[in-house]
Protein backbone atom coordinates (compact mmCIF):
# COMPACT_ATOMS: atom_id res chain seq x y z
CA UNK A 1 0.00 0.00 0.00
CA UNK A 2 1.38 3.40 -1.02
CA UNK A 3 1.66 5.79 1.93
CA UNK A 4 0.12 9.22 1.41
CA UNK A 5 1.71 12.19 3.18
CA UNK A 6 0.31 15.73 3.38
CA UNK A 7 3.07 18.36 3.71
CA UNK A 8 2.10 21.81 5.01
CA UNK A 9 4.72 24.57 4.80
CA UNK A 10 4.66 28.20 3.61
CA UNK A 11 8.15 27.79 2.09
CA UNK A 12 7.97 26.38 -1.44
CA UNK A 13 11.55 25.14 -1.25
CA UNK A 14 10.73 23.06 1.83
CA UNK A 15 7.68 21.63 0.09
CA UNK A 16 9.75 20.78 -2.97
CA UNK A 17 12.48 19.12 -0.88
CA UNK A 18 10.07 17.10 1.24
CA UNK A 19 8.05 16.04 -1.78
CA UNK A 20 11.18 14.94 -3.63
CA UNK A 21 12.38 12.84 -0.67
CA UNK A 22 8.97 11.20 -0.21
CA UNK A 23 8.43 10.46 -3.89
CA UNK A 24 11.93 9.04 -4.19
CA UNK A 25 10.96 6.59 -1.46
CA UNK A 26 7.74 5.49 -3.20
CA UNK A 27 5.44 7.62 -1.07
CA UNK A 28 2.64 9.82 -2.39
CA UNK A 29 3.01 13.49 -1.40
CA UNK A 30 0.44 16.31 -1.43
CA UNK A 31 1.74 19.81 -0.67
CA UNK A 32 -0.08 22.93 0.56
CA UNK A 33 1.25 26.33 1.60
CA UNK A 34 -0.84 27.17 4.69
CA UNK A 35 -2.89 25.84 7.56
CA UNK A 36 -6.07 27.08 5.91
CA UNK A 37 -5.23 25.19 2.71
CA UNK A 38 -4.55 22.06 4.76
CA UNK A 39 -7.95 22.29 6.46
CA UNK A 40 -9.70 22.75 3.11
CA UNK A 41 -7.80 19.77 1.77
CA UNK A 42 -8.95 17.61 4.69
CA UNK A 43 -12.52 18.90 4.51
CA UNK A 44 -12.68 17.43 1.02
CA UNK A 45 -12.83 13.99 2.62
CA UNK A 46 -9.23 13.11 1.85
CA UNK A 47 -7.41 11.31 4.67
CA UNK A 48 -3.61 11.10 4.38
CA UNK A 49 -1.62 8.58 6.41
CA UNK A 50 0.45 11.35 8.00
CA UNK A 51 0.63 15.16 8.09
CA UNK A 52 3.98 16.97 8.16
CA UNK A 53 3.08 20.41 9.54
CA UNK A 54 5.28 23.50 9.75
CA UNK A 55 5.02 25.41 13.05
CA UNK A 56 5.78 28.95 11.87
CA UNK A 57 3.34 30.04 9.17
CA UNK A 58 1.54 33.39 8.63
CA UNK A 59 -2.15 33.84 9.50
CA UNK A 60 -2.59 30.35 11.00
CA UNK A 61 0.45 28.75 12.64
CA UNK A 62 1.02 25.03 13.14
CA UNK A 63 -0.40 24.97 16.67
CA UNK A 64 -3.73 26.48 15.59
CA UNK A 65 -3.85 24.22 12.55
CA UNK A 66 -3.23 21.16 14.73
CA UNK A 67 -5.94 22.24 17.17
CA UNK A 68 -8.43 22.48 14.27
CA UNK A 69 -7.38 19.05 13.00
CA UNK A 70 -7.78 17.51 16.44
CA UNK A 71 -11.21 19.13 16.94
CA UNK A 72 -12.64 17.36 13.87
CA UNK A 73 -13.75 13.78 14.50
CA UNK A 74 -12.92 12.90 10.89
CA UNK A 75 -9.27 14.00 11.19
CA UNK A 76 -8.54 13.61 14.92
CA UNK A 77 -6.75 10.28 14.45
CA UNK A 78 -4.37 11.38 11.65
CA UNK A 79 -0.82 11.47 13.08
CA UNK A 80 0.78 14.92 12.85
CA UNK A 81 4.52 15.62 12.92
CA UNK A 82 5.74 19.18 13.37
CA UNK A 83 8.41 20.59 11.07
CA UNK A 84 10.64 23.16 12.74
CA UNK A 85 14.03 24.78 12.63
CA UNK A 86 13.71 25.74 16.32
CA UNK A 87 15.81 24.29 19.11
CA UNK A 88 13.21 25.40 21.66
CA UNK A 89 12.18 22.60 24.04
CA UNK A 90 9.16 24.71 24.98
CA UNK A 91 7.80 24.41 21.47
CA UNK A 92 8.27 20.66 21.57
CA UNK A 93 6.47 20.42 24.91
CA UNK A 94 3.61 22.56 23.62
CA UNK A 95 3.42 20.50 20.44
CA UNK A 96 3.28 17.17 22.27
CA UNK A 97 0.62 18.52 24.62
CA UNK A 98 -1.39 19.62 21.57
CA UNK A 99 -1.24 16.13 20.09
CA UNK A 100 1.77 16.07 17.75
CA UNK A 101 3.48 12.68 17.72
CA UNK A 102 7.00 13.84 16.84
CA UNK A 103 9.20 16.65 15.53
CA UNK A 104 11.43 16.72 12.44
CA UNK A 105 14.11 19.37 12.17
CA UNK A 106 14.68 21.58 9.13
CA UNK A 107 16.63 21.57 6.91
CA UNK A 108 15.62 18.00 6.16
CA UNK A 109 18.04 15.11 6.40
CA UNK A 110 16.53 12.56 3.97
CA UNK A 111 17.43 9.49 6.02
CA UNK A 112 16.02 11.01 9.24
CA UNK A 113 12.86 12.20 7.52
CA UNK A 114 12.13 8.80 6.00
CA UNK A 115 12.96 6.86 9.19
CA UNK A 116 10.57 9.01 11.23
CA UNK A 117 7.81 8.97 8.61
CA UNK A 118 7.93 5.20 8.12
CA UNK A 119 7.98 4.54 11.87
CA UNK A 120 5.03 6.80 12.62
CA UNK A 121 2.94 5.52 9.70
CA UNK A 122 3.59 1.92 10.76
CA UNK A 123 2.67 2.68 14.38
CA UNK A 124 -0.49 4.52 13.31
CA UNK A 125 -1.56 1.56 11.20
CA UNK A 126 -0.79 -0.79 14.04
CA UNK A 127 -2.92 1.36 16.35
CA UNK A 128 -5.78 1.38 13.84
CA UNK A 129 -5.51 -2.36 13.34
CA UNK A 130 -5.54 -2.81 17.11
CA UNK A 131 -8.71 -0.72 17.43
CA UNK A 132 -10.41 -2.55 14.56
CA UNK A 133 -9.60 -5.99 15.89
CA UNK A 134 -10.48 -5.08 19.48
CA UNK A 135 -13.89 -3.87 18.23
CA UNK A 136 -14.37 -7.10 16.30
CA UNK A 137 -13.40 -9.28 19.24
CA UNK A 138 -15.44 -7.27 21.71
CA UNK A 139 -18.64 -7.88 19.72
CA UNK A 140 -18.09 -11.60 20.21
CA UNK A 141 -17.09 -11.18 23.86
CA UNK A 142 -20.14 -9.11 24.79
CA UNK A 143 -22.42 -11.68 23.14
CA UNK A 144 -20.83 -14.51 25.14
CA UNK A 145 -20.04 -12.64 28.40
CA UNK A 146 -16.35 -13.45 27.95
CA UNK A 147 -14.88 -10.07 27.03
CA UNK A 148 -11.33 -10.45 28.31
CA UNK A 149 -10.98 -14.12 27.33
CA UNK A 150 -11.76 -13.30 23.74
CA UNK A 151 -9.57 -10.23 23.34
CA UNK A 152 -6.78 -10.66 20.88
CA UNK A 153 -3.86 -10.57 23.29
CA UNK A 154 -1.36 -10.98 20.49
CA UNK A 155 -2.34 -7.61 19.01
CA UNK A 156 -1.75 -5.89 22.34
CA UNK A 157 1.58 -7.66 22.73
CA UNK A 158 2.64 -6.62 19.22
CA UNK A 159 1.95 -2.96 19.95
CA UNK A 160 3.66 -3.30 23.32
CA UNK A 161 6.76 -4.83 21.73
CA UNK A 162 6.88 -2.08 19.12
CA UNK A 163 6.85 0.60 21.79
CA UNK A 164 9.32 -1.30 23.99
CA UNK A 165 11.80 -1.57 21.12
CA UNK A 166 12.18 2.23 21.06
CA UNK A 167 14.31 1.94 24.20
CA UNK A 168 17.42 -0.07 23.41
CA UNK A 169 18.41 -0.20 27.08
CA UNK A 170 15.24 -1.57 28.69
CA UNK A 171 13.77 -3.75 25.94
CA UNK A 172 11.31 -6.17 27.54
CA UNK A 173 10.25 -3.64 30.19
CA UNK A 174 6.53 -3.73 29.35
CA UNK A 175 6.36 -7.53 29.45
CA UNK A 176 8.08 -7.67 32.85
CA UNK A 177 5.87 -4.94 34.29
CA UNK A 178 2.78 -6.78 33.01
CA UNK A 179 3.92 -10.07 34.56
CA UNK A 180 4.79 -8.50 37.93
CA UNK A 181 1.47 -6.61 37.94
CA UNK A 182 -0.51 -9.77 37.21
CA UNK A 183 1.24 -11.62 40.04
CA UNK A 184 0.60 -8.76 42.48
CA UNK A 185 -3.08 -8.76 41.50
CA UNK A 186 -3.40 -12.51 42.02
CA UNK A 187 -1.69 -12.37 45.41
CA UNK A 188 -3.99 -9.51 46.41
CA UNK A 189 -6.95 -11.82 45.87
CA UNK A 190 -8.26 -10.23 42.69
CA UNK A 191 -10.13 -12.47 40.25
CA UNK A 192 -8.35 -14.25 37.42
CA UNK A 193 -10.29 -12.05 34.99
CA UNK A 194 -9.13 -8.91 36.77
CA UNK A 195 -5.54 -10.15 36.87
CA UNK A 196 -5.62 -10.84 33.13
CA UNK A 197 -7.02 -7.37 32.52
CA UNK A 198 -4.22 -5.82 34.58
CA UNK A 199 -1.71 -7.84 32.56
CA UNK A 200 -2.97 -6.30 29.31
CA UNK A 201 -3.08 -2.84 30.84
CA UNK A 202 0.50 -3.31 32.03
CA UNK A 203 1.66 -4.29 28.56
CA UNK A 204 0.55 -0.91 27.23
CA UNK A 205 1.36 1.35 30.19
CA UNK A 206 4.20 3.06 28.29
CA UNK A 207 2.47 3.30 24.90
CA UNK A 208 2.70 7.11 25.12
CA UNK A 209 6.44 6.87 24.53
CA UNK A 210 5.52 6.59 20.86
CA UNK A 211 5.34 10.37 21.00
CA UNK A 212 8.67 10.95 22.77
CA UNK A 213 11.68 11.54 20.47
CA UNK A 214 14.07 8.58 20.22
CA UNK A 215 16.97 10.91 21.00
CA UNK A 216 15.56 11.48 24.49
CA UNK A 217 14.53 7.89 25.19
CA UNK A 218 17.96 6.57 24.19
CA UNK A 219 20.09 9.41 25.55
CA UNK A 220 23.48 8.16 26.76
CA UNK A 221 23.29 10.13 30.02
CA UNK A 222 20.70 11.26 32.55
CA UNK A 223 18.04 13.62 31.21
CA UNK A 224 18.22 17.35 31.87
CA UNK A 225 15.21 19.19 33.28
CA UNK A 226 13.71 20.08 29.88
CA UNK A 227 14.09 16.54 28.56
CA UNK A 228 12.57 15.13 31.73
CA UNK A 229 9.58 17.43 31.34
CA UNK A 230 9.12 16.12 27.80
CA UNK A 231 9.17 12.50 28.97
CA UNK A 232 6.54 13.38 31.57
CA UNK A 233 4.13 13.93 28.69
CA UNK A 234 3.97 10.21 27.88
CA UNK A 235 1.11 9.33 30.29
CA UNK A 236 -1.17 11.88 28.62
CA UNK A 237 -0.05 10.77 25.16
CA UNK A 238 -0.74 7.14 26.06
CA UNK A 239 -4.19 8.03 27.33
CA UNK A 240 -4.99 9.85 24.07
CA UNK A 241 -3.96 6.78 22.06
CA UNK A 242 -5.79 4.16 24.10
CA UNK A 243 -8.99 6.07 24.80
CA UNK A 244 -9.77 5.54 21.11
CA UNK A 245 -10.61 1.91 21.96
CA UNK A 246 -13.95 2.44 23.73
CA UNK A 247 -14.73 -1.27 23.99
CA UNK A 248 -11.85 -1.71 26.44
CA UNK A 249 -11.49 1.65 28.25
CA UNK A 250 -9.44 0.03 31.03
CA UNK A 251 -6.47 -0.13 28.65
CA UNK A 252 -5.93 3.61 29.09
CA UNK A 253 -5.84 3.48 32.90
CA UNK A 254 -2.28 2.24 33.29
CA UNK A 255 -0.95 4.54 30.57
CA UNK A 256 -2.59 7.59 32.13
CA UNK A 257 -1.93 7.17 35.86
CA UNK A 258 1.05 4.83 36.41
CA UNK A 259 3.22 7.77 37.52
CA UNK A 260 0.79 9.01 40.18
CA UNK A 261 1.97 8.68 43.79
CA UNK A 262 -0.03 7.49 46.78
CA UNK A 263 0.77 10.78 48.57
CA UNK A 264 -0.52 12.86 45.64
CA UNK A 265 2.88 14.15 44.51
CA UNK A 266 2.94 12.28 41.21
CA UNK A 267 1.85 13.25 37.69
CA UNK A 268 0.05 14.04 35.45
CA UNK A 269 -2.97 14.81 37.69
CA UNK A 270 -1.56 14.73 41.21
CA UNK A 271 -4.32 12.44 42.49
CA UNK A 272 -3.73 10.48 45.70
CA UNK A 273 -4.63 7.34 47.64
CA UNK A 274 -7.72 5.46 46.56
CA UNK A 275 -8.52 8.13 43.96
CA UNK A 276 -5.80 6.50 41.87
CA UNK A 277 -7.37 3.59 39.97
CA UNK A 278 -6.46 0.23 41.46
CA UNK A 279 -4.86 -0.97 38.21
CA UNK A 280 -2.55 2.05 38.16
CA UNK A 281 -1.58 1.60 41.82
CA UNK A 282 -0.52 -1.97 41.09
CA UNK A 283 1.34 -1.10 37.88
CA UNK A 284 3.12 1.81 39.62
CA UNK A 285 4.87 -0.59 42.02
CA UNK A 286 5.78 -3.06 39.26
CA UNK A 287 6.99 -0.27 36.96
CA UNK A 288 9.24 1.31 39.61
CA UNK A 289 10.70 -2.07 40.55
CA UNK A 290 11.52 -2.92 36.93
CA UNK A 291 12.99 0.53 36.32
CA UNK A 292 15.48 -0.15 39.12
CA UNK A 293 16.24 -3.70 37.98
CA UNK A 294 16.79 -2.78 34.33
CA UNK A 295 19.89 -1.36 32.67
CA UNK A 296 20.27 2.30 31.82
CA UNK A 297 22.85 3.94 29.61
CA UNK A 298 24.41 5.43 32.73
CA UNK A 299 24.15 2.43 35.12
CA UNK A 300 23.70 -1.33 35.30
CA UNK A 301 20.90 -3.26 37.02
CA UNK A 302 20.73 -2.19 40.66
CA UNK A 303 21.40 -4.81 43.34
CA UNK A 304 18.28 -6.57 44.57
CA UNK A 305 18.81 -5.21 48.08
CA UNK A 306 18.80 -1.63 46.80
CA UNK A 307 15.60 -2.17 44.81
CA UNK A 308 13.94 -3.74 47.85
CA UNK A 309 14.96 -0.84 50.10
CA UNK A 310 13.49 1.68 47.66
CA UNK A 311 10.17 -0.17 47.46
CA UNK A 312 10.05 -0.39 51.26
CA UNK A 313 10.92 3.29 51.58
CA UNK A 314 8.05 4.21 49.27
CA UNK A 315 5.30 2.42 51.25
CA UNK A 316 2.48 4.88 51.88
CA UNK A 317 4.22 7.74 50.05
CA UNK A 318 5.02 6.64 46.53
CA UNK A 319 3.15 3.33 46.65
CA UNK A 320 -0.10 1.84 47.89
CA UNK A 321 0.99 -0.02 51.08
CA UNK A 322 -0.96 -3.17 50.17
CA UNK A 323 0.65 -3.64 46.78
CA UNK A 324 4.11 -2.49 47.86
CA UNK A 325 4.14 -5.12 50.63
CA UNK A 326 3.14 -7.81 48.13
CA UNK A 327 6.02 -6.68 45.91
CA UNK A 328 8.36 -7.04 48.88
CA UNK A 329 7.09 -10.61 49.39
CA UNK A 330 7.86 -11.40 45.77
CA UNK A 331 11.35 -9.94 46.10
CA UNK A 332 12.06 -11.92 49.27
CA UNK A 333 10.98 -15.16 47.56
CA UNK A 334 13.26 -14.42 44.59
CA UNK A 335 16.39 -15.81 46.23
CA UNK A 336 18.43 -16.01 43.01
CA UNK A 337 17.35 -12.57 41.72
CA UNK A 338 15.53 -13.75 38.60
CA UNK A 339 13.15 -10.78 38.61
CA UNK A 340 15.34 -8.39 36.65
CA UNK A 341 16.45 -7.58 33.14
CA UNK A 342 18.69 -10.37 31.94
Cβ atoms 38, 51 nearer than 8 A: yes
Instruction: Give the other-Cβ count within 10 Å of 122's Cβ.
Output: 13
How many CB atoms within 10 Å of residue 328? 16
Q: What is the dihedral of CA 173, 178, 180, 183, to 10 degrees?
A: -170
| Greatest CA separation for the chain | 64
Contact, 152 vs 134, CB < 8 A?
yes
* Cα 43 from Cα 146, distance rounded (Å): 40
- Classify residue 224 as exposed, middle or buried by CB count within 10 Å of its CB (0-12, 13-18, 19+): exposed
| Cβ neighbourhood burial of 338 (10 Å; 0-12, 13-18, 19+) | exposed
In the set 166, 209, 232, 313, the catalytic residue is 209
State how far the Cα of 31 lies from the Cα of 9, in Å rounded to an integer.
8
Element (H, E) at 139: helix 110-144
- Give the C-alpha separation, 192 to 282, whole Å: 15
Helical packing angle, 153-164 and 173-187, nearest 10°: 130
CA-closest candidate to residue 248, choices 124, 121, 152: 152
* Annotated catalytic residue 219: no
CA 311/CA 225 separation, integer angstroms: 25
Residue 198 exposed, middle or buried by CB count within 10 Å (0-12, 13-18, 19+): buried
* DSSP structure class, residue 313: H
Residues 6+ apart with CB under 8 A from 295: 169, 170, 301, 341
Provide the annotated active-site residues: 209
Amino acid sequence: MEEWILVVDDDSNNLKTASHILLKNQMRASCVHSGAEALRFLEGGRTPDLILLDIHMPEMDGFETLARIRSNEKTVHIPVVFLTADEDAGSETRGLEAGAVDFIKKPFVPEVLMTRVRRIVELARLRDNLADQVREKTAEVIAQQEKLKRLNVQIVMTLSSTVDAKDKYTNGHAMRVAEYSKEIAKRAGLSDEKAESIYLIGLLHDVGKIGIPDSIINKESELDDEEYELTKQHPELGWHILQNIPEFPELAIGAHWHHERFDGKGYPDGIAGMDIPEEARIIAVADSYDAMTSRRSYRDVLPQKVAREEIEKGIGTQFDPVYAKIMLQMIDEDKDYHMRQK
